[in-house]
Chain A
Amino acid sequence: MPLSTRGLFALTWLETKIFLREPLGAIGSMVVPVLAFLVLGRALPRTVPLTATPYAGLLAPGGVPVLVSILIANSAVLSLVAIISIYREGGILKRLRATPLRPPTILTAHVLVKLLLTAVTMALMTLVGRRYFSPGVDVPVISFAIALLIGTWSILSIGFVIASIVPTARFAQPIGAFILYPMIGLSGLFAPLSAFPPALRTVARLLPMTYVVSLLGGIWRGEGWLAHLGDIGALVVAFVVCTALSSRVFRWE
């Protein structure tokens, strides 16, 4: 089904405004990760030298920003799952579908809102971080932001798969968290993949979160994009697979 831009920007803008009108949701998904950044950043030692860490672990340089970025992406996905299931339960999706709006347009608007939210949170984190928690090294902030948007975009497609299977809006957040947090646990952020038993390592390699962590960590350490083409490729594959899957199983009412 072709994506039509008619109504896309109107809908995206409107959904952004509507999102910001709900103070709890907006604060929860933007302020909490930034606070986490500050607290973790102060609590963890920053003395581990770059060369001593063969992986982008939590204690490595960039470990905290990567973790917080993952949290940002995560909350975007959970918020997407919640919104989609609430809209489905309330018949809002059905009402939008009884217009010339094409289904992919409706869903893309929500992806754009979440990416916008991620970008703004990232900007906030950078501002706050610059002031209170100097990363010490020259971080390619713009590249890092782009990497985060790519990662978020890819795992948002998992959000659609989750949104397709949650039975009611009440279960949206718990089921979403149940699927996403183990993915973070296996992503190589807390322990290097090489330390996993082989079976677990294979599972981790199949999960897109692993590639998000690898991409973000690498960009933070100043590695070039070319070194991470594999990660980006994996994220694109994850997006394509999840989008195809959700277009088959997605329920509108």
Chain B
Amino acid sequence: MAATCGRSVIHVEHIRKSYGTLRAVDEISLDVYEGEIFGLIGPNGAGKTTTMECVEGIRTPDSGTITVLGLDPFRDVYQLQERIGVQLQQAQLQKRIKVWEAVHLWASLYKRKTASGEQLLEQLGLADKRDAWFMTLSGGQKQRLFIALALINDPEVVFLDELTTGLDPQARRAIWDLVRGIRDRGKTVFMTTHLMEEAERLCDRVAIIERGRIIDVDTPERLVVKNCPQRTVVLATDDSGAAEAFGRIPRLDSVTRADARFMLHGSGEEFVTDVIQCLSDNHVRVTDFRTVLPTLEDVFLKLTGHSIRE
């Protein structure tokens, strides 16, 4: 994992973009480093797509500067397109274009040596659809075709906007593996998602964006530690003295109980150890024990005051 040690391949400084009176992107700055998977997460309309499309050179920000692979996405757009791969959130192809025709066309557009289209189709589970018209593909198959097109020129930076929207869990996992594979070959991935699980499992770093502003940027783990120190232990016991013993656990915030089931809420990394210590000191027999750690979802809730799904 490269995290923050590589060279900056995407540098965004104070960009703004308005549509009429709406500030879609309001003073965003960020850096994406070579070899990392960087995710933008945020609710609908937060400005993820707008930011990403400015970086890809297909929209122009009102102000601010962007550098991608040392190039200006506006001035050097064709040079840049040679070296990046783009999957757009909302795109279609010609209704009656065949899958293999799309892949061949794309392969013919780049000067650099391209990846094997047939191999990509194989990897993405589209080999048996190579002769199908685009309009006959299912949503997930279209999505996978767009991912194939984004990878056809063996790009140095890959942009994936909502890459697993509409995919079934199995296909989603396959795509995650594929994206990790891209990173492991030294490429950089810039993606957006509103699936917290996806961001947590896939991204080396994430930026949380809301109403056109970045609220925080870090690794998913550090975001959780920093913003949500609370820990919850769920356990089941018949021991009558348990409730009283739990009261002596340091850093315990609250206990909720349903019959033999206890939920102990505390904070700090030591909390789980303290609970185990208490159980062992008091010889409490438990029939179930698990810890619930906060997730990016909780971080999001904490930072924005609402859930990403609202």
Contact = CB atoms under 8 A, between A and B. Distances in A.
B255 to A, nearest CB: 53
Contacts of A11: 105
Given A18-B96, A99-B109, A94 B88 contact: yes
A138 interface: no
Interface in B57-111: 58, 78, 81-82, 86, 88, 90-97, 101, 104-106, 108-111
A94 B95 CA distance: 15
Contacts of A248: none
B164 to A, nearest CB: 19
Contact of A94 (B91, B105, B108, B133): B91
A95 B108 CA distance: 15
A130 interface: no
Given A98-B56, A100-B78, A7 B92 contact: no
Contacts of B92: 90-92, 95
A153 to B, nearest CB: 23
Interface in A72-110: 87, 90-92, 94-95, 97-102
Contacts of A99: 81, 86, 106, 109-110
Contact of A100 (B58, B81, B94, B96): B81
Contacts of A6: 108-109, 111
Nearest to B133: A21
B58 A97 contact: yes
A175 B111 CA distance: 40
A98 B96 contact: no
A18 B97 contact: yes
Given A14-B105, A102-B78, A92 B94 contact: yes
Contacts of B90: 91
Task: Determine the interface band of chain B, counting residues with CB < 8 A from chain A.
Answer: 20 to 34
Task: Determine the interface band of chain A, counting residues with CB < 8 A from chain B.
Answer: 20 to 34
A99 B90 CA distance: 16
Contacts of B82: 100
Interface in A1-20: 6-7, 10-11, 14-15, 17-18
Nearest to B146: A95
Contacts, number: 61
B73 to A, nearest CB: 11
A18 B94 CA distance: 8
Interface in B106-142: 106, 108-111, 133
Contacts of A10: 104-105, 108-109
Interface in B5-47: none
Nearest to A10: B108
A134 to B, nearest CB: 39
Contact of A98 (B81, B105, B108): B81
Contacts of A94: 58, 88, 91
A10 to B, nearest CB: 5
A107 B81 CA distance: 18
A6 B97 CA distance: 19
A18 B146 CA distance: 19
Nearest to B84: A98
Contacts of B94: 14-15, 18, 87, 92
A22 B82 CA distance: 32
Contacts of B105: 7, 10-11, 14
Contact of B88 (A14, A22, A95): A95
A95 B110 contact: no
Contacts of B146: 95
A197 B132 CA distance: 57
A146 B62 CA distance: 47
A6 B106 CA distance: 11
Nearest to A99: B109
Nearest to A83: B94
A7 B110 CA distance: 9
B109 A95 contact: no
A21 to B, nearest CB: 4
A68 to B, nearest CB: 28
A11 B93 CA distance: 13
A21 B58 CA distance: 30
Nearest to A102: B78
15 contacts: A7-B109, A10-B109, A14-B101, A15-B94, A18-B94, A18-B97, A21-B96, A92-B92, A94-B91, A95-B146, A99-B86, A99-B109, A99-B110, A100-B78, A100-B111
4 nearest A-B residue pairs (beta carbon): A90-B92, A95-B91, A21-B96, A98-B86
Given A6-B108, A14-B94, A22-B96, 16 more contacts: A6-B109, A7-B105, A10-B108, A10-B109, A11-B105, A14-B101, A21-B133, A90-B92, A91-B92, A92-B93, A94-B91, A95-B92, A98-B58, A98-B81, A99-B86, A102-B78
Interface of A: 6-7, 10-11, 14-15, 17-18, 21-22, 87, 90-92, 94-95, 97-102
